[in-house]
Amino acid sequence: MMTSLFSSFDPMTSILQMNWISMISPIIILPKLFWTKKSRIMKMMKIMESLIIQEMKNITNHKEILILSKSLFLMIMIMNIMGLMPYNFTPTSHICVASIMALPIWMMLMIYGWMKFTNKMFMHLLPTGTPSLIMPMMIMIETTGNIIRPISLSVRLTANMIAGHLLMTLLGDMNNVNLISMILPMQIGLMMFESAISMIQAYVFCTLMTLYSSEIP
């Protein structure tokens, strides 16, 4: 029995939970599928990968970022969907998991950009046509917005995963037989909605990361 509402996000709540194995299992299983006979699942994955790359090409031309975006999208989406399964938890609902994906990528882009394109990185801090009186304020605002990017990426992903799962937990605790005809359709609809949110949040995370990389020449 759970001790609190938020204990559903605790990987050590029950022995039956898969704990952190659910987070690393896609990394272990997916590469092996490339060596097996092509199935419908693999064809669907290839179609999804091509769609992601075509979408991200409109934002950036860096091939490395395209490969990284594709891999991150698949990993985040699989972890989010696995969190909807019984006796499991969502790894991306933990801020530490979301931050270790956002912070290294942001640091990589910043270090590479400031070392190779210092002048152009300074140009991004001051938009063209800014009046002289508010130039210092704009530089401070742009610098602050640049620094909090990894925080916004990780908090956005974590908060969206927690919000829907908390609502599902609250509906699951309503065990009144008289209300089952009303609660069951709501739970089915919420499950479909959370499945869509799992894919949308993975797409938003990768799109924003690619958009940040487009500032680097």
Q: 4: which 2 tokens?
A: 């609190």
Higher pLDDT, 10 or 63: 63
Instruction: Give residue-wise pLDDT tens across range 17-57.
Output: 555 666 676 666 666 656 666 667 777 777 877 888 887 88
Q: Helices 21-33 and 63-82 meet at what angle, rounded to 10?
A: 120
Prediction pTM value: 0.73
Contact 65, 102 (CB under 8 A): no
Instruction: Give residue-wise pLDDT tens across range 66-123.
Output: 888 888 888 888 888 887 877 777 788 888 888 888 898 888 888 888 888 888 787 7
Per-domain residue ranges for the chain? 41-213
Instruction: Give residue-wise pLDDT tens across range 167-184.
Output: 777 776 666 667 777 777
Residue 1 has pLDDT above 50, yes or no: no
- Picking from 101, 127, 90, 64, the residue whose alpha carbon sits closest to that of residue 204 is 101
| Spatial distance between the Cα atoms of 211 and 144, rounded to a whole number of angstroms | 17
Q: What is the largest CA-CA distance in the chain?
A: 68
In the chain, the amino acid numbered 62 is H
Question: CA-based Rg of the chain, rounded to a whole angstrom?
Answer: 21
Which residues contact residue 114 at a Cβ distance below 8 angstroms, ignoring those fewer than 6 apart?
Answer: 121
Higher pLDDT, 106 or 6: 106
